[in-house]
């Protein structure tokens, strides 16, 4: 069962090869071990340099791997994204979000029995207690939902007593399913509170995504049938966002967890990191930008004029570019298909979809972007789709967070069973004053 699988062999996590790398600095020579990757670049283990008068400096971790991992593989040159070896295209076509969550967390595709029991377990935990609802009621309605979501997930641990231990496998299992289940309910509450609408209770008999949509949009006591296209589209977007190896928020989750902070606290920290406009917040920004383009066009200008203005001011076009993908983001290709499906079904603001399709064409033909290997990323499309579904832009990143929960949990659990894990504590190259003699306040001058 799942719990047993949690204690799997650690030998597959880091495989030290017989090769080594040589580093010569001044008169010192270092023989550095190489960790073999199954695909992608091998890693040079530099921990040996510590206390030897040298540290490595790599702002933004452009060339630094902070761990070895067997969860997700990305080849940014070839547009490849695989979870546990399975191509994202196959998972998006054939799987469902909770099955993918199982795959990421436990490392293998479940049998039908395992999958059904996992789904029942998660769906059966979606209720949050009345005290939690009162707690949530204390926040301002107009606060940004990402701030509320991170606070709520941190607080969730206090409402699920006995599940915060990082040493008790049963507690970790409980926390895993509580976070997956209850964050969905909390996200629907955040959506409704913003609109001053009554909060709905979960219906265990409905699917995870179907019931999320009902809890966001149904009128109390009225029969609600979700539009199957919206259920399918949201399920797929959740799969596409479910993991993305060592991105900013996942790194935060791993480093927070490395201090033995609980799963709840670590995921809450990840949500804070995701809220930034260069990461999860880009979908909200991308939609705002398309709305800006609409205004721009009303003034008689063109999309190309807008793109030129961005280039001239050395700004960043939201929804384009990626640290890892230097070719077309494979998630963006699938998300675009769903944008087209929504457009064909005439759901949402059709003019915004048309502008996004056109913006993509303009950018793809522009040398500035092609010479820098800047392609559309998934966030170009997700904001448009969420808006068409009826979500406010401020809610977009909360849906991204909901999707990323299986990935964060999988990484937290992997980090804990990796024998190489140490508390995350990077070094620095100090460039400040060497020594200052203290001056009393009366003697200080400007
Ligand atoms: N628009 C215009 N120019 C760009 C863009 C962009 N979106 N992204 C990068 N550039 C330029 C950048 O100015 C630099 O130009 P130069 O060489 O002349 O100085 C060059 O391309 C290299 O960029 P970089 O800043 O070194 O790239 P990075 O890997 O540090 O940044 C990024 C990656 C995603 C933060 C950046 O592309 C960006 O800010 N994009 C817009 C925000 C966005 O859409 N984020 C969502 C990413 S996908 C969701 C996720 O996985 O989190």
Express each pLDDT in 242-298 by its tens digit. Answer: 999 999 999 999 999 999 999 999 999 999 999 998 888 888 899 999 999 999 999
- Alpha-carbon dihedral sign for residues 360, 364, 365, 366: positive
How far is CA 244 from each of CA 34, 96, 187, rounded to the nearest angstrom? 24, 17, 21
Which residue has the CA at smallest separation from atom 44 of ligand 1? Answer: 319
Q: Among the atoms of ligand 1, which is closest to the Cα of residue 321?
A: 37
Q: pLDDT, tens digit, for every residue of 47-84?
A: 878 767 788 999 999 999 999 999 999 999 999 999 99
Distance 316 CA to ligand 1 centre (A): 6
Ligand 1 atom with the smallest distance to the CA of 320 is: 7
Which residue among the candidates 211, 379, 411, 418 is catalytic per the annotation?
Answer: 379
Q: How confident is the model at residue 7 (pLDDT cuts 50, 70, 90)?
A: very low
Q: Average of pLDDT values for 28-37?
A: 88
Closest ligand 1 atom to residue 329 Cα is 48
Residue 104: the pLDDT is: 98
H/E segment holding residue 272:
helix 263-274
**In 42-167, which residue ranges form alpha helices assigned H by DSSP?**
88-94, 97-106, 112-123, 130-137, 145-159
Dist CA 45 CA 50 (whole Å): 11
| Cα–Cα distance for residue pair 44/22, rounded to 1 Å | 10
Q: Work out the mean pLDDT of the chain and round it to a whole number.
A: 93
Angle at 109 (CA atoms; ends 203, 399), nearest 5 degrees = 45
* Residue of 61, 316, 328, 362 to test ligand 1 pocket, by largest number of atoms within 8 Å of CB: 316
Give me ligand 1 centre to Cα 369, in Å: 10
Å from CA of 60 to ligand 1 middle: 13
In tens, the pLDDT along 392-423 reads: 999 999 999 999 999 999 999 999 999 989 99
List of residues 6+ apart from 146 with CB closer than 8 A: 271, 272, 274, 275, 280, 281, 397, 398, 401
Catalytic site includes residue 351: no
Return the percentage of the chain with pLDDT > 90, whole number. 86
Ligand 1 pocket: which residues have CB below 6 Å? 244, 247, 278-279, 282, 316-323, 372, 374, 377-379
> Ligand 1: which of 245, 310, 321 to mutate, judged by most atoms within 8 Å of the beta carbon?
321
Which H or E element spans position 252? helix 248-257
Between residues 203 and 5, the one the model is more confident about: 203
Tens of pLDDT, residue by residue over 315-351, are: 999 999 998 899 999 999 999 999 999 999 999 999 9
Which atom of ligand 1 lies at the shortest distance from residue 372's CA? 21
Helix (H/G/I), strand (E/B), else coil: 73: strand
**The residue to which tokens 């994204």 are assigned:** 81
What is the pLDDT averaged over residues 192-212?
96
Structure tokens at 347: 């759901």
The SS3 assignment for 259 reads coil
Q: Determine the pLDDT at residue 25.
A: 85
pLDDT at res. 13: 54
pTM score of the predicted model: 0.92
Query: What's the gap in Å between 399 CA and the centre of ligand 1?
Result: 22
Asked if pLDDT for residue 8 goes beyond 50, the answer is: no
The answer to whether 322 is a known catalytic residue is yes
Q: How far is CA 222 from the centre of its chain?
A: 34
Catalytic residue among 191, 241, 244, 322: 322
Question: Torsions phi, psi of 167, nearest 5?
Answer: -105, -15
Name the pLDDT band for 14 (thresholds 50, 70, 90).
low
Rg, the chain, Cα only: 24
Q: Residue 119 contacts by C-beta under 8 Å, 6 or more apart in sequence? A: 98, 208
Percent of the chain scoring above 70 in pLDDT: 96
Name the residue with the closest Cα to ligand 1, atom 50. Answer: 279
Q: Which of 47-56, 95-104, 213-222, 425-434 has the lowest mean pLDDT?
A: 47-56
Distance of CA 249 from the midpoint of ligand 1 (Å): 17
What pLDDT score does 3 carry? 37
pLDDT, mean of residues 160-166: 91
| Cα 2 to middle of ligand 1, angstroms | 39
- Give dist(CA 434, CA 430) in Å, integer: 9
């Amino acid at each position: 069962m799942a719990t047993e699988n949690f204690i799997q062999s650690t030998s597959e996590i880091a495989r030290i090869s017989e090769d080594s790398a040589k580093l010569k600095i001044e008169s010192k020579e270092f023989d550095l071990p190489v960790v073999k990757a199954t695909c992608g670049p091998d890693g040079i283990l530099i921990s040996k340099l510590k206390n030897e008068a040298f540290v490595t400096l790599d702002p933004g971790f452009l060339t630094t791997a902070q761990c070895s991992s067997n969860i997700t593989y990305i080849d940014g040159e070839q547009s490849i994204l695989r979870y546990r070896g399975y191509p994202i295209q196959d998972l998006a076509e054939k799987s469902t979000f909770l099955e993918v969550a199982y795959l990421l967390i436990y490392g293998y595709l479940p049998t039908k029995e395992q999958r059904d029991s996992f789904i029942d377990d998660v769906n059966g935990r979606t209720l949050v207690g009345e005290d939690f609802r009162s707690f949530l009621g204390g926040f301002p309605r107009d606060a940004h939902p990402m701030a509320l979501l991170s606070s709520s997930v941190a607080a969730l641990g206090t409402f699920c007593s006995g599940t915060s231990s990082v040493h008790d496998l049963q507690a970790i299992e409980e926390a895993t399913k509580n976070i997956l289940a209850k964050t969905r309910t909390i996200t629907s509450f955040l959506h409704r509170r913003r609109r001053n609408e009554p909060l709905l209770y979960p219906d265990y008999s409905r699917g995870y995504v179907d019931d999320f949509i009902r809890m966001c949009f149904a009128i109390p006591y009225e029969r609600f049938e979700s539009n199957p296209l919206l259920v399918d589209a949201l399920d797929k977007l959740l799969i596409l966002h479910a993991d993305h190896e060592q991105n900013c928020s996942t790194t935060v989750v791993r480093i927070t967890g490395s201090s033995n902070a609980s799963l709840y606290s670590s995921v809450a920290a990840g949500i804070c990191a995701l809220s930034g406009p260069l990461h999860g917040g880009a979908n909200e920004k991308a939609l705002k930008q398309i709305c800006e383009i609409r205004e721009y066009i009303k003034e008689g200008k063109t999309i190309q004029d807008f793109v030129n203005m961005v280039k001239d001011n050395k700004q960043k076009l939201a929804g384009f570019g990626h640290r890892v993908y230097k070719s077309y983001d494979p998630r963006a290709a699938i998300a675009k298909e769903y944008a087209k499906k929504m457009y064909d079904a005439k759901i949402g603001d059709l003019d915004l979809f048309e502008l996004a399709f056109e913006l993509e064409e303009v950018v793809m033909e522009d040398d500035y972007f092609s010479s820098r290997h800047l392609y559309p990323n998934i966030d170009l499309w997700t904001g448009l789709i969420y808006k068409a579904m009826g979500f406010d832009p401020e809610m977009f990143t909360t849906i991204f967070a909901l999707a990323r929960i299986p990935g964060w949990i999988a990484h937290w659990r992997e980090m804990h069973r990796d024998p190489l894990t140490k508390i995350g504590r990077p070094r620095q190259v100090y460039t400040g004053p060497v020594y200052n003699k203290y001056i009393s306040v009366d003697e200080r001058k400007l």
